[in-house]
Structure 1
Amino acid sequence: MPPSVEFPSAPPAPPRGQPAVPPRGHRVRQTTEQLRARILGGEWPVGGRIPTEPQLVAALGVGRNTVREAVRALVHAGVLECRQGSGTYVVSTDELAPVVARRLGDDRMTEVIEVRRAFEVEAARLAALRRTPEDLAALDGALAQREAAWHGGRVDAFVEADAALHTAVVAAAHNAMLAELYASVGTALRSTVAQAMGGALTPERYVDHTRLVEAIRAGDPGRAALEAGAFLEPAERA
């Protein structure tokens, strides 16, 4: 008679009325899709910062490790971007961002400038036509932060503040596709600003963006477009 074979017993069923706990991989995928759905739904717009990890844990009802892995998956997909000391931001609603980032590397800065000009000039023109009081308040705040960052003397802080102002201009254009495409070149955008600074914030490198904001406030699309384009001449200013 052949020896009997013992098979491992199935895990015990949860007590009656208590839902089964899904496996870890499933929880991560489910949490990733929840985050993606909130991004696609506009709760966290492109260019905006998502809640902190503890806030996400409380909102989604999952553990820290699950949230961390879900966020990491969306960073890898190019939907989110972690910025040291600042937080995690939405950079795209799809996986276009990493593709664009690979195309627009540091060795193609001339092309990056041309792409920035194409986006930012039209964004400024549209912003002058469509800006709302909330947009103007956001622009004023971003401009003030940019000035403060310049006077603070740290190149990395200024690069972030400058990018935030330009992103606010794009947001004021109220064109979702433009905002998404612009966000996809965010890393390359920061590289052009950092390169233009040359490692130090010196007076001759300063570019005032006050006139750009004022042109948008005045509802003058032609002047706003000219101001936006003036920053992106061959000198590659911020």
Structure 2
Amino acid sequence: MDQQTLLGRKMVAEMQQSAGAQTVKALKNAAVSLVLLPRFLVAALVLWFLDFLCVRRRVLLKMRESEGGPDDPPVCISDSNKMFSLESLKAVWHGQKLDFFKSAHLGYVAPNTEVVQLKEQKRRVASQYADIADSLLVYIEEAHPSDGWASSDAPYQIPKHRCLKDRLKAAELLNLEVPGCLVVADTMENSSNAAYGAYFERLYILKEEKIVYQGGRGPEGYSISELRSWLDQYRNSLENSVTVVIHV
């Protein structure tokens, strides 16, 4: 058998292997789509209803009445913001896929993802729980970029990050807003966002490299008061624990 024949057979085998991998990937994506579709359609219907101002104001009023505590960010959507659009549906679908495929799960080892540190940043932690926990804020992709699902209520109008320089520049603005917390930026591969299902926003507590608290997916599942309650209970458990020293 000559060399050309062997090379041809090798190319055919590689093509068949590639086609098989693509088929498996397509079937996997189809299965995931079927699983996520009902939840996605419900979310899309909610967004459509929220474009009716009478419904939006009533829903927001109920949400404000049931807010967890003074630490939780207020729910604020102006009448001019469009809720049901192609960009909003793409954002919701993206967030649900990240949540489905995340590798971070309660009780399991926390993914150790790559982040980028900001320049000239003071290394401080959140003061209230600095005695028991270090605080880290990972800035991910923009949930409401000015050239995407834009929000007129956003304090800054930031376009989609085209490169790491764009992301770090935007993260510097966030660093000014939270001076008591170390701020880092996700890589442009969005490794932290994917591993933790962080889009739009999410809270985690890690202890000894394991996830001991996993907050809901924001904005509706983002609860600082719930996080504070966990930390208060943890602090109380430390204060009430008794260490016995045995001298031999």
What TM-score range do you get, normalising by the shorter chain?
under 0.3
Structure having the larger proportion of residues in strand: 2
> Structure 2-normalised TM-score?
0.27
The normalised TM-score by structure 1 is: 0.28
